Structure formats: C-alpha cells, structure tokens
Structure 1
Amino acid sequence: MKKAKYYGSIDVDDSSFNVALIKTVGEELLHFKCSSNVGAMIKKIKQKNIHLKDIQLCYEATYLGYTLYRELKGKGIRCEVIAPSLIPKAPGNKVKTDRLDCIKLAKYYLKGMLTPVHIPDEEDETVRDLIRSRKLLVDQVKKIKTHIISLCKRMGLDYRKQRGISNAAYWTQIHYKWLEKEINQLPKDSPLRLNLSSLLSTCHNIETFISTYDEQISVIAERPKYKDKVKALNCFRGLKTLSSLTLTTELGDIRRFPHPSKVTAYSGLSIREYSSGGKELRFGITKQGNRILRTVVIEACQFSFKPPKVSNILKERRIGADPEYINIADRCMHRLSKKSIRMFMNKKHRNKIKVACAREMLCFVWEALHKAA
C-alpha cells in the first residue's frame, strides 16, 4: 500500500468534527472544524488541495462504533479505529480540549504510537449485538425477579416461610402459582396488587422476547459461516449453541491471534505482574479486555472439577462433529479436571480455580476455532 502523505485524526462529537492533519514530510500541521458528517469534512479537505488518497485518518472507538470507518472507507479514505485505553497519556498534561485532543492523536498516529482495534464485518457485528441485547433482557428479568421477592418479603408475603421449607427454590412452577394466588387474594384497588401484577406481567413479556431471541440465535448458528465453528465449540463440556456463538462473534477472525496467550490477554484473563529488582509479584487477572468473552468462559468452567465423563446430552451435541474437534474438547476436559483437583488440594479458592480453568479453556477454544476456520 502506498504510504500516506498526511496522517490525521478526527475528534468525534455529536455537533462537530475536529480534524487534525500532519504532513509526513516537514510535519506541517493543519487543523479545521466542520459539522458532524463525512461530506462536510471531505469538502474542507478538498479546499486545502489535499487528495483523499493521500491521507490516512484515525479516530477513537466511541459510541459511533464502526459506521464512520465504513463511511470513510466507502469514500476511498484510509482509516483506522484506535483503542482508547491504549492511547499514551502524559501525567503532567491537565489541559483538555477537542482541538488539542485531535492534534495530540494525529501526532501519536504519525509516530506509530497508537493501537488500532479489529473491525468486524457487518454480519458478525449484527449477530454480536443481537446476543448482547439478549443478555440485556436477561439482566432485566433478574432485576425484576429480585425486586418482586424483596417486595413480597417487605409486605409479609414470604414464600419459604409459608411453605415451611427454608431453601425452597424461587421461580419454579409452584412458586409462580403461589405468587399468582397471593396477588389474586389482595383487594382489587390495592396498590400492592397493581404493583406485583404489573411486575410479573413485565417479567413474562420479557421472557417471551428472550425466547424469540433464542429461536433466532439457533437459526443463525446454522448459517454456513458459523455452523462449523459452533459445532466445534459445542463439543466442549460447558458450551452450548448460545455460548458457542457468543465466543465466535466476540472473537471474530481467530486468525488475528497468532498465539493463545493473545486471546487470554484480549479477554482480560492474563495475570497482572509487577516484577522489578529481582522480585516477582503476581496479582489477580487484569480484567482489561472483553468482559462478555471472559464471563462466558468462566461460566463454562463452573463444573470443571467434575470427573471427565461425557454425558448423554454432550454425546448428542457431538453427533456429526469432526473427530478432531472431539479430541480437542476431550483433552480440554481432562486437563481442566486435573488442574481443578490439583489446585483444590493446594487449598486454592474456588473462584481462583474457575478463572485458572477458564484461561486454559480459552486456549483450547483458540485451537478448535483455528481448525474450523
């Protein structure tokens, strides 16, 4: 690719764009402000007698996502989206304006000090957003259910006390019937009755929407683009269609990770370390990465300490799968079981065991996706 004559950055805002361009030779700085659309920005660039093919722009990853990147690419302008957490920061610099921000970003970009993020294709992005929206609905249901239980207890409607079972499970069919019965026994003009019935109805409606999402996710998992990858991950114990598709879309093109350690770093499962002067200090995980990816693999390792046996349900999921995928999944299952037992015997905390197993499991996921790619 031909080297750009100008490197620049865009400070994105709802009302305006601040653009800084620096010439490669001589480092001449140009700055201008325009309305927040690509057409106005291109017009300003052309007024300065600069060809679009001679510039390379960047901007911080923001709420705009990749729409600006795709629009600029469609106009023939080279562009990259920069990871905000990896932008160098000077501790002594206490002045912040849009103009100074875009100039600083342009200077860093010219010197190669910025780290671009991976741009997923539009299909991966839409599927990923679909799964994230489903998670949002699931979280809402959890909050509503917790609120209903708290409200009932405050008003003297204690399900466990009335049943005489201290550990009776909530949100079973029996619990739903009990709750509806208690609501119907309240006076019709009671604010509590209106409150509980509205919350319960909202909960049912959201659960219906979640079922619709699940059906759509099952259909998407059968698309040629995802079918082999989902099938490969479904061979693992702890992973089903939803979690497999989540891992596939959140990781994107697995070939961009040359080594499994890059995947663990991307998910925030790498261990923090501060070693200096002959001393080695290691702490917890960094948590600087994709939180959704990290959550999925940790949840998949909840029962990693169990004996490495293939259940009937797992056998069904493995029907028609490539033997290579099954071999990788079995190696993962045996390794996690041994690791869990060893750490448990060393009196490690249960959560530490799960996180350590999740880090190992992600490496096997990397291997399986490479085979399926």
Structure 2
Amino acid sequence: MNDSTKYVGLDVSKEKIAVAVADGGSRESARYWGEIPHRIEDIRKLIGRLGDVGQLQVCYEAGPTGYLLERQLASMGVACMVVAPSLIPKQPGNRVKTDRRDAQRLAELLRAAELKPVWVPGKEDEALRDLVRAREDAKEDLLRAKHRLGKFLLRRGVCEPVGVRAWSTKYRAWLKGLEFDSSALQTTFDEYRLSIEEIESRIERLESEIHTQAQKSRHAPMIQALQAFRGIKEIAAATMVAEVGSFLRFGKASQVMAYSGAVPSEHSSGAEVRRGKITKTGNSHLRRIAIECAWSYRYPAAMSAIWVIRSWPLPSSTGYCITHTSSTSEVRATG
C-alpha cells in the first residue's frame, strides 16, 4: 500500500459536503476534515488543500446528486469512485448515523478496499437514460390519470356501454359525449379527460425523440441489433441500451441477470440447497423491460404479412431459410 495516498470519503448532500480523510498505510481512524459548501469553487479549494491529486483516492455514495461531482473531480485529475450504497458493509451494532460518521466510514472502507463502485455513465449515456425514464414516468402518470377518471365515473354511477373495451376508440368517443348536470362535475370530468390527452401527447413527443436517438445516436447500431430478437422493439431496445450502457462490461449472461436483479435468491447450508424468488436487488428499470420482453417472447413466432407474401412463391425447403435471413436483415435495417 502506498503510504502517501490519502483516502477521502465524502458524504454529499444538496447544500454541503462532509469530508473525512484516512491516511494510507495506517490503521488509525479517518480524521474528520469538516464541511464545505457544495459548489465547484469550494471543491476545487478542497482538492488544492489536500495535496497532490495523484495521491488522492476519493469516494462518495451514489444518490440524488448524480454523477456531476465525479465528473468535476475527474476534470481536476482526481480518481473518484461512486459507491453502490446497497453494498456498503454495515455494522449491526452501530445505531448512530451522522454526516461526519458516514464520511469517516467511507474513507476507512475505501482504504480497506471494501467498497464496490457503480457504473458511471457518460453524458450521452445519461441523457438517453433520462429520456427513456422520462417516458416511463409519463406512462405511470397516464395510468394514474386513467384510474382517477375511472374512479370518478364509478362514484357517479356512470358505466361504459356493454361490449366496449376500456380506452378503445369507441370508449373514447363515448367519453367525449358524456355530460353532467352540475357545472362542477362537468368541469371535473373535462379536466380529468384533458389531463389524459395531455399526458398522451407528452408520451408521443418522448417516443419521437427516442426514435430519433435510436436512428442517429452512437447507440443506434446496438439498439437496432437488439430488435433482431423476438419480443424486443425500439422502445425496449433503447431502454436496455440506456440502462446497461456497454454490454462489454459483462463477461457472461449471468452477470447481466445479476445486474438486473433477475437471479434467484439462495439460502443454502451444507447439503441443503434452498433457492427462492429473484433477488430484485439490481437495476429495476432493466429488470422490468426484460421481463416484459420475455412475456412477448413466450408466444409462438408469427410471420408478418409482408414476410408471408415474400416467401409464398418459394419452395418450402428454401423459402424458410431465405425468409428468415431477409426478415432478420429487415428488422436490423428498419429498427
């Protein structure tokens, strides 16, 4: 271990940063440096006071402040690790939590090499991830808005016509024709309905930008390649790429499954093997979209009309192979 290395733990919040330093080659507890405002100029002053940037190792927990601090430190030449909060070793008997103690604990664990880093996306990776997550948020808002309108109609004793499926074209036409005696009720109904239309417009705008990114961004080749798999279309492929970043980070499929929390839990001892439900400890966005794609994949493969027309004049022995090859190429090309 390099005795001149300083291991710096940062407990980061919106307004301030608590700083602790542990000296390399020492078993002494990390010393508390103090608190600084969470501003770039104060961070730069802190790094200048700590000494040679080549002898600094800095870490902080991943959280709501994102990766801006890591990028700021990297621009100063400082090695910074963004730590996975769920993998930080805990002391069961320690019931006191303060910013000071958290910073000291991070510095000591960093010195002991007991911390696990998270993947820090690049700016373009993070932008795509924010985009697909904004669509997910809009879809959740849409579901809530539909529930609000449905429960409002239920309270007023208004039921949809028999045989009309909810939120179909006929259902929406029926909604537009509804009228209430009270102006208060009519205004409430109109606002609930308009909020649904506004959210749907927002989803269309987001999906349009996702389509643009899937065609023109540096992620386009991977997004289009993933769509060669049955059950994966453009939105799902873009979500997977946004959440994973580079698939080269993983050496085998089981590592990707573990990253998404889709591996079974296990509590085995001796000769007894006990496995349970999936851990759900990984990336929930990736896990959700992968499971949805699996639901689609379980259905029998179906040929689209254009593939049927293309392969119909061909002999059955060769038609299958030619159609399969051309269909895969078409999926890759169209995205």
Q: TM-score if structure 2 supplies the norm length? A: 0.87
Deviation at 1:178, TM superposition (A): 1.1
| Residue of structure 1 in register with 2:314 after alignment | none
Query: 5+ residue gaps in structure 1?
Result: 317-321, 330-367, 369-373
| Separation (CA, whole Å) in 2 of partners of 1:205 and 1:47 | 52
The 1:27/1:76 distance shift into structure 2, 3 A limit, reads farther
Q: CA offsets per residue over residues 145-173 of structure 1, 9 Å max, x none?
A: 111111112101111xxx233xx311112
Deviation at 1:53, TM superposition (A): 2.4
> Letter of the aligned partner of 2:214 in structure 1?
A
| Residue of structure 2 in register with 1:218 after alignment | 211
1:256 to 249, 252, 270: 249
SS in 2 for 1:63: coil
SS in 2 for 1:164: coil
Deviation at 1:27, TM superposition (A): 4.8
SS in 1 for 2:177: helix
| Residue of structure 1 in register with 2:98 after alignment | 97
Contact 1:18 1:102 in 2 (8 A): yes
| Separation (CA, whole Å) in 1 of partners of 2:15 and 2:224 | 46
| Residue of structure 1 in register with 2:72 after alignment | 71
SS in 1 for 2:215: coil
1:39 to 34, 38, 41: 41
Contact 1:7 1:106 in 2 (8 A): yes
| Residue of structure 2 in register with 1:285 after alignment | 278
Deviation at 1:269, TM superposition (A): 0.4
The reply on whether 1:169 has 2:165 as its aligned counterpart is yes
Deviation at 1:304, TM superposition (A): 3.2
| Separation (CA, whole Å) in 1 of partners of 2:197 and 2:4 | 56
Aligned length: 314
The 1:171/1:324 distance shift into structure 2, 3 A limit, reads closer
Larger deviation, residues 51-60 vs 34-43: 34-43
The reply on whether 1:181 has 2:181 as its aligned counterpart is no
Deviation at 1:307, TM superposition (A): 2.6
| Residue of structure 2 in register with 1:117 after alignment | 118
> Letter of the aligned partner of 2:192 in structure 1?
L
Deviation at 1:324, TM superposition (A): 12
Contact 2:7 2:21 in 1 (8 A): yes
Deviation at 1:26, TM superposition (A): 3.0
Deviation at 1:138, TM superposition (A): 1.1
| Separation (CA, whole Å) in 2 of partners of 1:314 and 1:103 | 63
| Residue of structure 1 in register with 2:224 after alignment | 231
| Separation (CA, whole Å) in 2 of partners of 1:44 and 1:224 | 37
| Residue of structure 2 in register with 1:266 after alignment | 259
* Superposition map of 1:1-373 within 5 A: 5-27=5-27, 29-32=30-33, 33-47=35-49, 50-159=51-160, 163-165=161-163, 168-183=164-179, 186-187=180-181, 189-223=182-216, 225-312=218-305, 326=328
Deviation at 1:47, TM superposition (A): 3.8
Contact 1:4 1:56 in 2 (8 A): no
| Separation (CA, whole Å) in 1 of partners of 2:269 and 2:26 | 40
> Letter of the aligned partner of 2:190 in structure 1?
S
Deviation at 1:301, TM superposition (A): 1.8
| Separation (CA, whole Å) in 2 of partners of 1:20 and 1:245 | 40
Contact 1:57 1:80 in 2 (8 A): yes
| Separation (CA, whole Å) in 2 of partners of 1:9 and 1:71 | 16
> Letter of the aligned partner of 2:41 in structure 1?
G
| Separation (CA, whole Å) in 2 of partners of 1:201 and 1:304 | 35
SS in 2 for 1:284: strand
The 1:122/1:254 distance shift into structure 2, 3 A limit, reads same
Deviation at 1:310, TM superposition (A): 3.8
| Separation (CA, whole Å) in 2 of partners of 1:44 and 1:314 | 64
| Separation (CA, whole Å) in 2 of partners of 1:182 and 1:3 | 77
Query: 5+ residue gaps in structure 2?
Result: 311-323
> Letter of the aligned partner of 1:220 in structure 2?
Q
Larger deviation, residues 215-224 vs 244-253: 215-224
Deviation at 1:76, TM superposition (A): 1.6
Q: CA offsets per residue over residues 46-69 of structure 1, 9 Å max, x none?
A: 345x22221110000010110010
CA-atom RMSD in angstroms:
2.6
The 1:202/1:224 distance shift into structure 2, 3 A limit, reads closer
Q: TM-score if structure 1 supplies the norm length? A: 0.78
Contact 2:12 2:18 in 1 (8 A): yes
| Separation (CA, whole Å) in 2 of partners of 1:249 and 1:47 | 38
The 1:94/1:155 distance shift into structure 2, 3 A limit, reads same
